[in-house]
Amino acid sequence: MGRILSVMVVVSVFIANHAFGSGFALIEQSSRLQGYSYAGAAAVADDASTVFFNPAAMTVIEGKLVTAGFQVVVTQAEFTDQGSAYAAGGNLVGGNGGDGGTVGLVPALFYVESFDNGWSYGLGVNVPFGLSTKYDEGWVGRYHALKSEVRTININPSVAYRVNKNISVGGGVSLQYIDAELSNAIDFGLLDASDAFGLGAGALGLSPQASDGKATLTGDDWSAGFNLGFLFECNSGNSRIGLSYRSSIEHDLEGDATFIVPAPIVAVQTAANLFTNSSVKATVELPASASLSVFHRFNPRIAVMGDVTWTEWSNLPELRFDFGNNMPDGVTTLNWDDSFRYSLGMMYNANDKLTLRTGVALDETPIPDAAARTPRIPGEQRTWLSVGAGYQVTDRIVVDGAYSHLFVETPKIAKTLAGENALRGALTGEYDAAVEIVSIQASYSF
């Protein structure tokens, strides 16, 4: 009984992101860098977002600079069922869930101030992780996922010091808030037919796939981490190599578990203290990451940049939920792999006021195969193609915009009727997925 309850109550995966890329990390922090597909992010020091991408590069910025903007991320995730099987025999019933993608807004605010003594100070307020997927209530994968939403806010004060004309170092502290909500359907008809309540198989008269309930988990937490950076400059600053590292951050979320149950089992659940509203706890370790970036300016008009970024998704092997009632811990296995992102970009200064940008990137997914993929985050490898432009409005104000189209390889799901999915069903199918990103920002120097 414990295994059955664990499987049915816990939502299959805690996280899913707007852009279906590297797990649920959001690289989308700067319109200027988006124009390069974030190539050279730890070396370009194009705007104040370097607080996030490499604090050491703050020393490249002169005086005071504030950068504020937002990115609109539009995702498409349309599922097509391909014969999903059911534990009681036959197929899972229901529709394809509509478009599980959403429209997300990713805001960011950064400030940098450099002093004549070699020191620089910065502050960033941004969203480094985020996600949102939502499906129709009666869709075929409802026992795996209905709604998944995670929001983070990262407050990142940083300092940097120019050791000499070639070398700068920097670091900062990340104070991070996370808020999460996730839900899925529960098949009480199958629980009844399986004699999960110890009353005899079918004693409550509930029908599989026709007597659904619902579980919703919410929680939040504050935690902290750090980031470090190194910058090497040569050729009068026209060539730069940047190395940055962001630590993992462990969040111990606390919140509420609420259940909607069919009327025939209300007395059973109350007596056993099962499927009753209660507290819930979960530990989530957001991954560490490291980037190596290069930047080279050939002449006053043309510059190129590149980047390799590693993200340690392997530090999140499972998700475990501890309920405040008699429910046993719920465990969801992830077993994600570490992932890499590779990017190349170029800028062209058309004149004193207009700068044009373009870039490409290959963004790996940490999800190892179709069996490990879930509808909460139907991620797959993505190829970025980006264009952007910046315009010097006044001596102090620059406005930048960018557009990216992300070509997403077809995400496939192939669950098996075993372990955690024994009662959720063997969801099988594929997604038609795509991502569009549009952004705008303004920078003011003083």
Model confidence at 324: pLDDT above 50: yes
Q: Report domain extents, the chain.
A: 2-445
| 9 confidence band (pLDDT: 50, 70, 90) | very low
Residues 6 or more apart whose CB falls under 8 angstroms from that of 424 comprise 7, 8, 12, 143, 144, 415
Cα separation, 154 vs 177, in Å, equals 7
Backbone angles phi, psi at 172, to 5 degrees: -160, 175
pLDDT digits (tens, 9 = 90+) for 145-162: 999 999 999 999 999 999
CA dihedral 323, 324, 328, 334 (to 10 degrees): 20
Cα separation, 168 vs 59, in Å, equals 7
pLDDT digits (tens, 9 = 90+) for 165-185: 999 999 999 999 999 999 999
Task: Give yes or no for a contact between 39 and 46, defined as CB atoms under 8 angstroms apart.
Answer: no
Model confidence at 204: pLDDT above 50: yes
Distance, C-alpha 129 to centroid of its chain? 4
Report, as an integer, the average pLDDT of 356-377: 93
Token pair 């043309």 is found at: 302
Q: Which of 117, 122, 107 is nearest to 47 (CA)?
A: 122
Question: Which overall architecture, per CATH, does domain 2-445 show?
Answer: Beta Barrel (2.40)
Cα separation, 444 vs 300, in Å, equals 22
Amino acid at 223: S
Model confidence at 20: pLDDT above 70: no
Model confidence at 19: pLDDT above 60: no
Cα separation, 291 vs 341, in Å, equals 9
pLDDT digits (tens, 9 = 90+) for 256-278: 999 999 988 888 887 778 888 99
User: What average pLDDT is seen over the chain?
Assistant: 90
